[in-house]
Each structure stands twice: as structure tokens, then as C-alpha cells.
Amino acid sequence: MLVFSAAIESGTTGLWYGRFIEFPGTHARAQDRQSLLKELQEELFYHGTWLQRHRELSPISEDASVNVVEEIHGITRLGESGGEVALFNSDIRRVTPRAFDHFIRLMEYNRQDLLSLVRDLTPEQMSYIPSGKGRDITAILQHISNAEEFYVSRLGPETDQKYEKYENTSESDVDKLPVFQRLEVVRRVCIMCLKDVAPKKGATVLTRAEYTNNPNEQWTAYKVMRRYLEHEREHYYNIREYLGLPIREGISMG
């Protein structure tokens, strides 16, 4: 039986988050630790089918199980916009050229899934806000772009200069673009910046006070890259929930 390693965190909001170290981009959340472990088991099986759907090899079998190897508590505003996420020991490593290419490929798969889910929605669906939620789907997509700009900025002030260079227009003009066009532009510019900067950062632990309420939050280039993946999958699940769809579709190990 294969056992895969999970890193989990809990925060001041009462939420619990988890992911698999071997599989960047996996994401699970719950209201307590025990529920999170169940969600992680489902996420593991889903990720196996997801990899296969995108023509990637998957080592995940029906008898695969979860082993929590790292656990961090007290994360400020975990799960809220502008909240922190933990830096795990598994994040303190350099992004090798091979790992970088792997991250970018997974980012492309995530974006394909997201656009497939939302591109044909009606204006009414795009503007629907379920009870207890604060954003409609259009705002979620804008938030994804905002977060991607934020993540790349964690690599240091030099990324701001590179971002402006590659953007080739003002940030305010990009912010005004239709939401699908903005998603494309922001992602393209972020990848160009990541390609320039992320491999040079090695395993250095970084902090940056600009653009955040959490100036002491710790980052590495590896954490930045995994957050691109986790965050988009989280909101992919979020939008599926809005649309009344199962959070994880087509779980099958066949």
C-alpha cells in the first residue's frame, strides 16, 4: 500500500487546510482535523483521476492512504482573502528547472479546467451570489488574478519591475480588462516573471511588507509556485459549489 505525505494547517478562522507534498496543487479544507483527513483521502483519489485526465502518470491506487508529516497551527485568517498560509519544511527547497516545468504544466491544466467550467455560463450565473457568500463568480475570477499578482510579488521588489516591463501597459488598464482577458494577461505576465526570478531564489526564506497585512509571512519560491496551483483549485471547487455540482467530479481509480 502506498502512503502519501500530507502537510496540514489550522488557523484563527477555525478552518483546516491540507495538501499532499508529493502532489503540488492538491487542496482540501474542513472545519476540523478529522473531517480534513477524510477530505484529503477524497482529494488523493480525485487527484489520481485528474492526472490521468490530463494524460499524466498517476501512482495513486485505490489502497493509497494519507500520512500527516507536518502540522502548523495558529495561521492568521486562514481561508480569508488576505489571510496567511503556512510555510512548511517541504517548501524550503529550490525550484529546479524540472520542477518549474512541472508546475507550469499543472498550472495550464488548472486553467483549462477553470475556463471549461465558466466560459459558457450565463450573465445570471456569473453574477449569482449564494446565501452566506460574499462574491459572485465574476468576482472570484477577478480574485484569482489579484492573488496571482500578489504571489509573484512575494519574490521581491525586482519582480515588480519585471511585471511592469512584461505587462507593457499600466496595471490600472489591465485591471479594467474583461475578466477572461485579464485572467489570460495576468497569468502570462506572472509566468514570465516566475521564469526569470523563481529559480534564482533557491531555497531562501523571504518576507515582504508591501501589499499585505501580514508583513512577516514567510515565503519561498517553492511556496509561491504551489500557491498558484492550490489557490486556483480551491476556487474551482468553490465555483462548482456555486453551480450545484459535486466538488470533485468523476472520482474513479479505474
- Cα–Cα distance for residue pair 21/88, rounded to 1 Å: 10
| CB of 28 closer than 8 Å to CB of 43 | yes
pLDDT beyond 50 at 253: no
| CB of 111 closer than 8 Å to CB of 232 | yes
Does residue 248 fall inside a structural domain?
no
End-of-domain residue from the set 64, 83, 102: 83
Pair (110, 55) in one structural domain = no
What is the arithmetic mean of pLDDT over 61-66? 94
Pair (201, 236) in one structural domain = yes
What is the arithmetic mean of pLDDT over 146-163? 96
- 3-state SS, 156-221, equals CHHHHHHHHHHHCCCHHHHHCCCHHHHHHHHHHHHHHHHHHHHHHHCCCCECCCCCCCCCCCCECH
Alpha helical stretches, state H, the chain: 33-53, 97-118, 123-126, 137-153, 157-167, 171-175, 179-197, 221-242
Pair (77, 101) in one structural domain = no
What is the arithmetic mean of pLDDT over 39-59? 97
At what angle are helices 137-153 and 97-118 packed, to 10 degrees?
Answer: 170
pLDDT beyond 60 at 45: yes
232: domain CATH number is 1.20.120.450
What is the arithmetic mean of pLDDT over 76-97? 97
What is the arithmetic mean of pLDDT over 157-185? 91
Domain count, the chain: 2
End-of-domain residue from the set 83, 117, 141: 83
End-of-domain residue from the set 26, 59, 83: 83
Does residue 252 fall inside a structural domain?
no
At what angle are helices 157-167 and 179-197 packed, to 10 degrees?
Answer: 130
| CB of 65 closer than 8 Å to CB of 3 | yes
End-to-end CA distance of the chain: 17
Residue with cell 525550484: 95
Pair (171, 52) in one structural domain = no
User: 94 is written with which cell numbers?
Assistant: 529550490
Its domain, for residue 194, covers 90-242
| CA distances for 77 relative to 12, 63, 154, angstroms | 6, 35, 18
Does residue 247 fall inside a structural domain?
no
Does residue 254 fall inside a structural domain?
no
Pair (76, 96) in one structural domain = no
60: domain CATH number is 3.30.160
What is the arithmetic mean of pLDDT over 98-126? 98
Pair (142, 190) in one structural domain = yes
pLDDT beyond 60 at 7: yes
Predicted local confidence at residue 97, as pLDDT: 96
